[in-house]
Amino acid sequence: MEPGLRRAVVAGGSGLVGRRLVRALLDQRVQVQVLTRNPATLHVPAGASAHGWEELPTLLEGADAVINLAGEGIADRRWSASRKAAIRDSRTRTTARLVEAMRSCERPPQALVSASAIGYYIPRDERPVDEGTGPGSGFLAEVCRSWEAEAMAAAPLGVRVALVRIGVVLDREGGALPKMALPVRWFAGCKLGSGTQGLSWIHIDDLVAMLVEAARNPAWSGAFNGTAPEPLGNGAFTRLIARRLRRPLLPVPGFLTTLATRLLLGEMAEALLLQGAFVLPARAQSLGFRFRFPSASAALEDLL
C-alpha cells in the first residue's frame, strides 16, 4: 500500500481511465469506493464497492483522496448546443457537488485529484507549453477554466487539490488510438489538416500512475499536465502508427482533410483534431515522476 493512501473515493470510475485506475489502486491494497449514479448496476472489481451520490458527504468523511474523473465524453458525438451544455455541466456541476459535500465533513478528504484537459491550452502554435502557460480560447478552454475553478474551491477547506490536465490517452481497449489506427490498417491513413498541429498524448499506464502519485504525494498541488514528454505533430504521430502497422499513408492534401473533417464533425473538428498544442509535463518531471513510455514509438510498440 502506498504511504498515506488507504481509502480513495473515485468519481467516474466506470470510464476507460477510471476502470484502470480502480484496478491499480486495488493492486496497491487501497480501499476503493466508486461513486456512481447507478450503484446497483455498476460492475466493479472484487474488493471495490459502488456507492450512489446520495451517500455524500458521509462517503467523503475522512477519505485519504477523492479522484474525480466524472464527465460526459467529449468526442462521443457531434457538438450541438445541448451536447456542449452536457459536456460542461457534467464536469463543473459534479465537481461543485463534491466540494459542497466536503464542506459538510468534520474531516474533509486530505486530497482532491481532479481531472482537467489540455484543451485548457488550445489553440497554440508549435512552441511547447507547460503548466505556467496561460489558457487558450474557445469552448474547451472555457470548460477547463470553469472545471478547475470548481475544484480549487476545495483548497480553503484544507484539502490539497491537484489538477491533472489530461492529454490524448493511448490505450488498446478504447479511446483515440483504435480510431486513429483503423484507417491506417485499411490503407486509408493520412495526416489531418496541416499535420503540424500538436498532439499531446500519454500512455494509459503512465496516466494511471500519475493519478495515483497525485493522490498519494503531498507535493502534488496545483496544475499538472497529464501528457508524455514527447508531444508530436499530428502528421508525425500518424507516420509512427503507419510504420508500426507497416502500412503506407495516402498523400492527401491538407485542405481536403480539413474540409472533410469540418463537414463531418463541425466545431468539434477544430477543437479536437485540427488544432492542438505541444504540452510538456514539466511539473510532474520536476517532482521525479518517471514515465514508462516517454516516447510515442515506445507507447505504440506496446499498444499496437
Q: How do residues 13-41 score in pLDDT, each as one tens digit?
A: 999 999 999 999 999 999 999 999 888 88
- State percent of the chain over pLDDT 70: 99
Half-sphere exposure of 159 (CA within 13 A, CB side): 34
Average pLDDT of span 198-214: 98
Contact 117, 140 (CB under 8 A): yes
The pLDDT of residue 262 is 87
- Asked if residue 191 has pLDDT above 60, the reply is yes
Report if residue 271 sits inside a domain. yes
Q: What nine digits make up the cell of 136?
A: 487558450
What span, in angstroms and rounded, lies between the C-alpha atoms of 138 and 278?
A: 17
Q: Is the pLDDT of residue 1 over 50?
A: no
192 within some domain = yes
As a whole-number percent, the residues of the chain with pLDDT over 90 amount to: 86
Residue 76: its pLDDT value, please?
Answer: 85
- What average pLDDT does the segment 123-137 reach? 93
> Is residue 4 scored above 80 in pLDDT?
no
* Per-residue pLDDT at 249 exceeds 90: yes
Show the domain range for 240. 7-303
Q: What is the pLDDT of residue 267?
A: 87
In a domain? residue 2: no
In this predicted structure, what is the pLDDT of residue 2?
39
- Please give the average per-residue pLDDT across 158-183, as a whole number: 96
With a cut of 90, say whether residue 77 has pLDDT above it: no
Residue 180 lies in a domain: yes
**Number of folded domains in the chain?**
1
Cell of 281: 509535463
CATH number at residue 47: 3.40.50.720
Q: Would you say residue 304 has pLDDT above 80?
A: yes
Three-state secondary-structure class, residue 120: helix
Task: Give the pLDDT score at 271.
Answer: 86
pLDDT at 255 exceeding the cut of 60: yes
pLDDT-based confidence at 116, cuts 50/70/90?
very high
Q: Classify residue 1: in a domain, yes or no.
A: no
User: For residue 265, what pLDDT is reported?
Assistant: 87
d(CA 138, CA 212): 30
**Measured in whole angstroms, how far is the alpha carbon of residue 204 from the centre of its chain?**
9
Higher-confidence residue of 270 and 52: namely 52
Q: What is the pLDDT of residue 202?
A: 98
Average pLDDT, the chain: 95
